[in-house]
Amino acid sequence: MTGIHVLIVIMALALMPAMESKAAPQSSPVKNGLLALTLRDPAGRLQIFTIHPDGTGKHQLTFEGDNGRPDWSPDGRRIAFGAHRGDKEFVPGSSHKTFVAVMDADGSNLKLLAEGDAPDWSPNGKQIAFSRGGQIWVMGADGKDERQIIGNPTFKAGPSWSPDGKQMVFILIGNHNSPTDPQPQIGIMNADGTNERLLTKERRMNVRVNSDDTKTVLETASDANAPAWSPVADKIAFWSGIENRYGQVWVMNSDGTESRQLTDDPNHRNSDDPSWSPDGKKIIFSTGRSGRNELWVMDADGKNQRKVHDIDAFPFPGRASWQRGR
């Protein structure tokens, strides 16, 4: 080995510790914080509350009108939600009563931002997607710069962003003029509205697992609704069944493959409105399996299902939301 080669090797060895010290630090594990859900107040109005994941520590955040379908911001500091108001002084000149609203995590600084419903924060927290008039809209987190996502002229609702913010899933309503047979499916498109396509193409059947581990087919699960994209993976939780009758919580890959039923009920009762924990390891959902509306939690594979708290919904969906802990 020449002297030059030896010098190069020595320099390389000397630099190795320094190079290793510049390696990217390991990111800290994601923490799961409070749950935001909806319950009736003493006057019978629907309000947003927070609780701990074990069901304790109930705290009311909203006090006016009816409010529901909360969605925590990615940093866990704010909540977007739907707000029904009987008077119009909040948005002068508006003929609508359904708004996208935001508030701080403690319920302070509540603002009505725009007409619409079903808000969903973008992964970077800078935008909110929402439904209005059968289309998907996006605005800044401050309510400015509203714009419609222009794509195929299909009837859309309930958007949910992909973890990288490049795509959205949504409810694609095939027969929106029918209150009894709307024929919902799950659609997907790029965040700019391009490349819209149907996601729920696989044939699905809701089954019941019997005490002897055999399975009984309850009915086809031809309708699909309530999509929620995992915050950390290419998995989408959703409801599937027969609209206005019965269905269960399912999960599928983000390309629509490998759909799998996660919940079942021997009494033919509905489970719906799935939502992920920030770490993607658990799913909360609403269910009527006990005879009333309740919020339950399960592992992302459907195991270890347990009740968390009672929940109310109508006129909103019963979706709760899980805060990213700080």
Domain spans of the chain, in order of start: 31-324
| pTM, entire model | 0.87
SS3 state at 25 = coil
Residue 32 near residue 325 (C-beta atoms within 8 A): yes
pLDDT of residue 28: 64
Q: The tokens of 133 are what?
A: 């008039």
Q: What is the pLDDT of residue 91?
A: 45
Per-residue pLDDT, 268: 84
- Amino acid (one-letter) located at 268: H
CA proximity to 67, closest of 45, 86, 89: 45
Which burial class, exposed, middle or buried, applies to 279 when counting CB atoms under 10 A from its CB (0-12, 13-18, 19+)? middle
User: 15-30, pLDDT tens digit by residue?
Assistant: 333 333 334 344 567 7
Cβ contacts of 88 within 8 Å, gap of 6 or more: 94, 95, 97
By the 10 Å C-beta count (0-12 exposed, 13-18 middle, 19+ buried), 84 is classed as middle
Question: Sign of the CA dihedral 316, 319, 324, 326?
Answer: positive
Phi, psi of 96 (to 5 degrees): -105, 160
Tell me which amino acid residue 95 is: S
Query: What are the tokens at 195?
Result: 């490349």
Q: What is the pLDDT of residue 176?
A: 82
- CATH no. for 31-324: 2.120.10.30
* pLDDT tens per residue across all 326 residues of the chain: 444 343 333 333 333 333 333 343 445 677 889 999 999 999 999 999 999 999 999 999 999 999 999 999 999 999 999 999 875 433 444 455 889 999 999 999 999 999 999 999 999 999 999 999 999 999 999 999 999 999 889 999 999 999 999 999 999 998 888 777 788 999 999 999 999 999 999 999 999 888 888 888 888 899 999 999 999 999 999 999 998 888 999 999 999 999 999 999 878 899 999 999 999 999 999 999 999 999 999 999 999 999 999 999 887 889 999 999 87
